[in-house]
Structure 1
């Protein structure tokens, strides 16, 4: 069965007889985890020397970028649709065209996101479910060779 981020996710714990259906947002710990994930992501981007090219295409102050990613991931994972309410349809590729995103920038972004995900989401299966569409999205955002 294919799990998609943002959709309802069926908990399949053997002891969970009720088979409660919850969102990925709820499964990873809701607001606190999404906040921790986005904060750690930008902290890594800001400090890892191997993420310098990715960092350089971002504004000097990362606060607004962090808020936008937090808003986006909240809705994307099945929480409140904050991003849509504030900014309308994400149109992520178009919004990122101002930045030159090549394979190196993309891979540095992946490095930071993957590490932040591993540090903030305990459950390995949930990390895998979240990572697959994030990786596709990252490849989609690339706009130069």
Structure 2
């Protein structure tokens, strides 16, 4: 069966539910601890329990794992759901700082880490809803 192609999801590549859980816990630990993240931490509730569960469900589905987010929340509509929060380049950068550290800590596969980083960087950039410097043009998306 040499012509059989087995597709492995990113969810499986990184280690499944256990790694998604660790990733989210590490991400929010960093958000609590890093001074650079104090602005985005202030946008969250004091108790992160439900926020962590939502992100775990979202990332599980986003990486090709079990569909745990959309049955409960519907289409992610991430930009719309975050419109109430001012997200500029500084907030994007703080979020990515926390996520990159968490990825480094929890995802052993360097190639998978890089692929996730590229995708999340695009997503974080798209989430911006505040004007920034002249290089922050979003070309009609906002």
Distance (Å, rounded) in 2 between the aligned partners of 1:103 and 1:129: 21
1:117 is aligned, of 79, 103, 110, to: 103
What's the offset of the Cα at 1:63? 1.4
How far did 1:57 drift?
1.4
Moved over 6 A (4+): none
2:12 to 13, 26, 51: 26
TM-score between the two structures when normalised by the length of structure 1: 0.85
- Kindly indicate which of the two structures has a greater share of residues assigned to strand: 1
* 1:18 Cα deviation after fit: 7.1
Q: State the alpha-carbon separation in 2 of the partners of residues 125 and 26 from structure 1.
A: 13
Q: Is the 8 A contact 1:57 1:100 kept in 2?
A: no
- Pick from 1, 14, 35 the counterpart of residue 21 of structure 2: 35
Find out whether 1:62 has 2:26 as its counterpart: no
Where do 5+ consecutive residues of structure 1 fail to align?
1-16
Correspondent of 1:106 among 92, 110, 119: 92
- CA offsets, 1:63-92, max 9 Å, x none? 121111111000000001110011110000
In structure 2, the residue corresponding to 1:80 is in which secondary structure? coil
Residues 91-123 of structure 1 show CA distances to partners (whole Å, capped at 9, x for unaligned) of 000000111111111100000000000000011
Runs of at least 5 residues in structure 2 that lack an aligned partner in the other structure: 132-142
Q: 1:129 aligns to what?
A: 115
1:1-16 correspondence to structure 2 within 5 Å = none
Equivalent-residue separation in structure 1 for 2:14 and 2:24 (angstroms): 13
